[in-house]
Structure 1
Amino acid sequence: MKKLLLAVAVSTVAAGSVNAATVYEKDGFTYKLNGDFQVQFRQATGFDERAEVEYDDLELKNYVAYDLGNDLTAFGRLDFGFKDAAEKDENGSNLEEAFVGLKYGVASFSFGKQNFATDEFGIEQAIEVETVDEDRFEGIATDGDDTIRVDIELENVYIAASHEMKTNDGASAGIDGEYYDLFVATELAGLELAAAYQQARAYGSADSMDTWGISASYDFGFMNLAADYSSTDEDDFETTQYNLAAVFAVAATTDVALGMGNKEEDDADDITEWYANVTYKFPAAKNVSVFAEIAQSDLEDASGDDADMGFLAGMRVKF
């Protein structure tokens, strides 16, 4: 589930998470650790689905930084995820991010295993999506193992650009080819606008797959209203998607989100999915929350029967 206010909420790769606990800080060296543990009971939207315990996030994120003087900082991240191991009863963990970089003033440069710039795009507020991806970028690729990235965080403008170097290790890493990504967001008087673009080229191919998206959100005080639109063009075959989302602060501790997503491919029926969820954060510890969600889509099986409604309830603890 992504935040609506990107330009305000986005932390650059050099900054570390705002929720991270500072484990050690001395003589210009900083070590931060943060975690995100989310476990839920869920029955997915679909046909003949069964309820199960699902691990959405089981993450530990390590951040280290050295102050090199003259406004220059060296940093590194090493993040592990354990949800696949928990669900599949496997030993070990999944390395999610591993990169190093330098930050000077408002700009940072990093390289390694990390998210693409377009991973920042999107306003979708579902806890889980089943039928429709969060956006078109999520449906293509949003991270890689050979990624170079630049982040620039100005007062009211955030810019990120990344390049996934040309590789042919798709069989093992899920990445085949090269990617160029750009994301820009700005916020003015409660209105936030964002745009993103990705050019993907498969290994050994001269043709590219181009994806772009735009989004807008506005803070009315009592609610946040947002929309995005994204499109992918490959070999004159177009896939488009839009999302609408509204988040209401019904109490100081409770948010309610309503939203829907629609995906349409050339020569195919469009797919629509809607959702509604509620999240309660405990007053004594805002990083502890419980939540519930229902979701439905207009998918039909071969016999014309409608998909069953999905639902979930769970708990999240982070630091």
Structure 2
Amino acid sequence: MECIKIKKLILASAIAAIAANSATAATIYEDKGLTFKIKGDWQVQLRDNASKTKDAEVEFDDLEIKNSIIYDLGNGLTAYGQLDFGFKKAAEDEIDGDQLEEAYLGLKSHGVSVQVGKMDNAADDFGVENAKENALGDDVFDEFGSVDGDDVIRFDADFDVAHVAISHELEADGEKSENGESTEIYVEGGFDAITLGAAYQTLKATPTSSSVDIWGVSASYDAGFAEFGVDYGVSDQGGSNNDVAMTNLVATFKASKTTKIAVGYVEHDYDAANSDEDAIYANVVYKFPAQKNVSVFAEITNRDDDAGTDYELDVLAGMRIKF
């Protein structure tokens, strides 16, 4: 009987991965305190980026299959596991097959969770940027720090008015996963229509490199007709003249129930001379009324720098399906 159940589970998972069309994560199996869910996020776009030396191409961002296992252990305690695969690099002929995106196990009880494995760290929660593709990075941690790791221990806690996340990437010296060490903390809280956030990271990109300290603060305001956000962060390169401050400004407007328009500005302000750069972007996203997880979008970005680089407009259009 157990063998039959396993075969049915594998078959259902395969079918869902290929042809799922539900509006939310598909629950593949649920019985005796065990729940198995599968989610997908597929985005394909035609893009002509800002470089004059590159032609237009089809880009994939992202092609992901996400698998979640949840066990109810009773008394408010939950055990869970996540196994996510990405196919973006395979689609762009960079690698063969799939790429493991996340793989971790965790325990959660009354709004407090601890998880261990390959995952995003706490710094990944920071930022307000709302571009489809941003050559200057999503935020100061994404561009100049680290937002994920292979040997991560992460702690999350939800309180009435705030969320706290703390993570640590083990150095794993001498192991195959040896790729640096970092510690992060992110705190977010809000009241009424205002949300505030703050993050800090100390990072050694390799076991022999110098430590880098990065911090950032953010604020967003929901005005009803539009949402406004700003984040500001600084990467301290340990006394060199390569320190950089990064600013994000964004406004998102509801043109209709199915259409959103975002306009944003991104800036890198370096200590070094003639290194500053910035970008202005605007995009529009249309979600089909019958299925909100199916959308089409378009974006245009103008990039500039103090070095006098001759950029073209970055133009893209694409489609996204989630389940």
Q: Is residue 48–residue 308 contact of structure 1 (8 Å, CA) maintained in 2? A: no
Matched, 1:166 2:165: no
Deviation string, structure 1 residues 264-291 (Cα, Å, up to 9, x no partner): 2111331011100000000000000000
What is the CA–CA distance in structure 2 between the aligned matches of 1:19 and 1:187, rounded to whole Å? 27
What is the CA–CA distance in structure 1 between the aligned matches of 2:210 and 2:63, rounded to whole Å? 38
What is the CA–CA distance in structure 1 between the aligned matches of 2:261 and 2:76, rounded to whole Å? 41
Matched, 1:222 2:211: no
Map residues 164-243 of structure 1 onto 2, 5 A cutoff: 164-168=169-173, 176-205=179-208, 207-237=210-240, 238-243=243-248
Cα displacement (A) at 1:133:
1.3
Unpaired runs of 5+ in structure 2? 1-22
- SS of 2:305 mapped into structure 1: coil
- SS of 2:81 mapped into structure 1: strand
CA shift in 2, pair 1:292/1:25, >3 Å: same
Cα displacement (A) at 1:99:
0.3
Matched, 1:88 2:93: yes
Cα displacement (A) at 1:141:
1.0
Q: Aligned to 1:134, which of 121, 135, 138?
A: 138
What is the CA–CA distance in structure 2 between the aligned matches of 1:244 and 1:185, rounded to whole Å? 18
Q: Which residue does 1:290 correspond to in 2? A: 296
Cα displacement (A) at 1:89:
6.5
* Identity of matched residues, %: 45
Q: Is residue 171–residue 207 contact of structure 2 (8 Å, CA) maintained in 1? A: no
Cα displacement (A) at 1:155:
2.8
Q: Which residue does 1:145 correspond to in 2? A: 150
Superposition CA RMSD, Å: 1.9
Q: Is residue 276–residue 306 contact of structure 2 (8 Å, CA) maintained in 1? A: no
Letter in 1 for 2:298: A
Q: Aligned to 1:113, which of 118, 141, 158?
A: 118
Cα displacement (A) at 1:306:
2.6
Cα displacement (A) at 1:236:
1.4
- SS of 1:166 mapped into structure 2: coil
Map residues 28-39 of structure 1 onto 2, 5 A cutoff: 28-39=33-44
What is the CA–CA distance in structure 2 between the aligned matches of 1:234 and 1:299, rounded to whole Å? 21
What is the CA–CA distance in structure 1 between the aligned matches of 2:76 and 2:312, rounded to whole Å? 56
What is the CA–CA distance in structure 2 between the aligned matches of 1:94 and 1:169, rounded to whole Å? 23
Q: Is residue 244–residue 271 contact of structure 2 (8 Å, CA) maintained in 1? A: yes
- SS of 1:137 mapped into structure 2: helix
Cα displacement (A) at 1:234:
1.6
Q: TM-score, normalised by structure 1?
A: 0.89
Q: Which moves more between the two structures, 266-275 or 96-105? A: 266-275
What is the CA–CA distance in structure 2 between the aligned matches of 1:58 and 1:231, rounded to whole Å? 32
Q: TM-score, normalised by structure 2?
A: 0.88
Deviation string, structure 1 residues 79-103 (Cα, Å, up to 9, x no partner): 0000000011743100000000100
Letter in 2 for 1:115: D
Q: Aligned to 1:257, which of 262, 266, 271?
A: 262
Q: Which residue does 2:321 correspond to in 1? A: 317
Matched, 1:70 2:75: yes
Deviation string, structure 1 residues 57-83 (Cα, Å, up to 9, x no partner): 100000001000111110000000000
